[in-house]
């Protein structure tokens, strides 16, 4: 379990700042957005409750080509060219295994190392602070447990709580559209990137075993947030033959939300960018983080207004809504089909060459790695248009 390294006691001084850009959240989406502002000449502040790279909340696997495109390949722990699916035939009896050759590889990676490498590609000041809310305006005021930060351009990449949303009531599990996930990281090794579609662990959901060098990242995800998954995770660890150790978990939004709201950008889990059914969240978080950063940079360089940037970013977000809705409907079918021969038939279908080529072509297009270099702003240093940072910390 991660131990907070957030400043405490005498080290936890007041924080007050006026900056050009405030990025709330220092994981995949937030750091990707900060990367795009390098050389802009703007004052950029990134805040998070935890230190950069401190708190891993997922099995941390992504398409290798995304990690390579972002020059994050040094963080890779293990690479896979096949996806292994294990499932009891007809939901009963002995487990059968099918291997699905992937058109591109996936890699598990070291989360602290990746965050450190991605952060090094940006130019920003970082502070640990818990974000509590926002007062909106031409210049927004974001309230933290250490003081207020003012910025005209604000990105919420804080995760599923969507802290800076204008909703009158906070998002609260288990009533919200959230998947419940829990995993453990015992020592171990395996050559297989593995999913288990087995109602013995969870009916509406799946379990996974993601090797990462000398450890196994295994866990259970339930599409129904009311279904607890600690006991199923323990049973999975027992089946794999490893101890459970310490648990780590997270809530995962499985419906696409709004990309903007009252002058604020949202990216990653705060915008619901994690894909339903597959729960792949890292690739879309990086994609939309880059996109938000580019729109913000265009404002800083005087090429568009904040309103135009928000509209353009929201339009890109909406081009993916139909695909997300399709995946949401697939997710809804897993519970009723799991444990039946209909699920066996569905898994046989997706392994056919024609379906597999079609699926992966469309699936890759949701967040293609070419986006890393496509349309990126130049790295020349433009004069800062806003305030320089004034802070006490």
Query: For residue 92, what are its two tokens?
Result: 């009963």
List the strands of the sheet with 16-18, edge to edge.
131-135, 140-144, 147-151, 16-18, 390-392
**Per-residue confidence (pLDDT) for residue 90, from 0 to 100:** 58
Distances (CA, A) of 133 to 45, 75, 167, 264, 295: 16, 34, 11, 12, 23
User: Which residues contact residue 123 at a Cβ distance below 8 angstroms, ignoring those fewer than 6 apart?
Assistant: 34, 37, 38, 39, 44
Q: What is the DSSP letter of 208?
A: E
Q: Tell me the HSE value of 258 on the side-chain side, using a 13 A CA sphere.
A: 13
Q: Which residues of the chain have pLDDT under 70?
A: 1-11, 89-94, 168-169, 375-393
Q: What is the DSSP string of 286-335?
A: HHHHHHHHHHHHHHHTTSS-HHHHHHHHHHHHHTTHHHHHHHHHHHHHHH
Specify the length of the chain in residues. Answer: 393
| N- to C-terminal Cα separation, the chain | 28
Residue 364 — φ and ψ, nearest 5°? -65, -35
Model pLDDT for residues 112-142, shown as the tens digit of each residue: 999 999 999 999 999 999 999 999 999 999 9
Pick from 245, 235, 234, 240: which is nearest to 211 by CA?
240
Distances (CA, A) of 318 to 23, 83, 285, 313: 22, 30, 15, 9
Instruction: State the DSSP H helix or E strand holding residue 187, giving kind and residue range, or none if neither.
Output: none
Judge contact between 369 and 65, C-beta under 8 A.
yes
Query: For residue 149, what are its two tokens?
Result: 């930060």
**Per-residue confidence (pLDDT) for residue 344, from 0 to 100:** 83
Question: What are the helix and strand counts (H, E) for the chain?
Answer: 9, 19
**Per-residue confidence (pLDDT) for residue 374, from 0 to 100:** 83
Neighbour-count burial of 370, counting CB atoms closer than 10 A to its CB (0-12 exposed, 13-18 middle, 19+ buried): exposed
Pick from 98, 343, 329: which is nearest to 223 by CA?
329
Pick from 119, 38, 70, 115: which is nearest to 296 by CA?
38
Model pLDDT for residues 330-353, shown as the tens digit of each residue: 999 999 999 888 888 888 887 788
**Per-residue confidence (pLDDT) for residue 179, from 0 to 100:** 96
Task: Go through the domains of the chain in sequence order and give each one's CATH number.
Answer: 9-392 (3.50.50.60)
Judge contact between 251 and 178, C-beta under 8 A.
yes
Residue with tokens 């129904």: 224
**Per-residue confidence (pLDDT) for residue 393, from 0 to 100:** 38
C-alpha triplet 276, 167, 34: angle, nearest 5°? 65
pTM, two decimals, is: 0.92
**Per-residue confidence (pLDDT) for residue 93, from 0 to 100:** 63
């Amino acid at each position: 379990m991660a131990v907070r390294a957030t400043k405490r006691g005498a080290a936890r001084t007041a924080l007050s700042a006026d900056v050009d850009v405030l990025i709330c959240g220092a994981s995949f989406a937030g750091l990707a957005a900060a990367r795009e502002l390098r050389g802009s000449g703007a004052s950029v502040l990134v805040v998070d409750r935890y230190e950069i790279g401190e708190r891993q909340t997922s099995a941390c696997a992504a398409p290798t080509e995304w990690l390579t495109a972002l020059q994050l390949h040094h963080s890779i722990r293990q690479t896979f060219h096949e996806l292994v699916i294990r499932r009891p035939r007809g939901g009963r009896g002995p487990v059968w295994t099918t291997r699905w050759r992937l058109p591109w590889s996936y890699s598990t990676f070291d989360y602290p190392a990746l965050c450190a490498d991605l952060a090094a590609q940006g130019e920003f000041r970082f502070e640990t602070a818990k974000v509590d809310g926002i007062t909106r305006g031409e210049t927004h005021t974001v309230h933290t447990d250490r003081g207020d930060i003012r910025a005209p351009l604000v990105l919420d990449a804080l995760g599923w709580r969507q802290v800076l949303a204008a909703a009158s009531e906070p998002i609260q599990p288990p009533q919200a559209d959230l998947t419940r996930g829990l995993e453990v990281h015992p020592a171990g090794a395996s050559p297989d990137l593995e999913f288990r579609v087995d109602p013995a662990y969870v009916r509406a959901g799946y379990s996974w075993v993601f090797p990462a060098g000398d450890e196994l990242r295994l866990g259970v995800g339930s599409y129904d947030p009311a279904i607890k998954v600690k006991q199923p995770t323990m049973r999975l660890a027992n089946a794999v033959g490893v101890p459970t150790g310490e648990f780590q978990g997270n809530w995962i939004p499985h419906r696409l939300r709004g990309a903007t709201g009252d002058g604020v950008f949202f990216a990653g889990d705060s915008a619901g960018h994690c894909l339903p059914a597959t729960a792949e969240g890292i690739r879309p978080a990086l994609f939309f983080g880059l996109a938000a950063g580019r729109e913000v940079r265009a404002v800083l360089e005087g090429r568009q207004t904040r309103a135009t940037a928000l509209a353009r970013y929201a339009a890109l977000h909406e081009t993916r809504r139909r695909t997300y809705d399709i995946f949401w409907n697939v997710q809804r079918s897993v519970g009723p089909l799991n444990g039946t021969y209909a699920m066996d038939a569905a898994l046989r279908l997706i392994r056919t060459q024609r379906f597999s080529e079609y699926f992966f072509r469309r699936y890759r297009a949701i967040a293609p790695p070419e986006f890393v270099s496509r349309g990126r702003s130049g790295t020349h240093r433009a004069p800062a248009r806003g305030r320089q940072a004034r802070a006490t910390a």
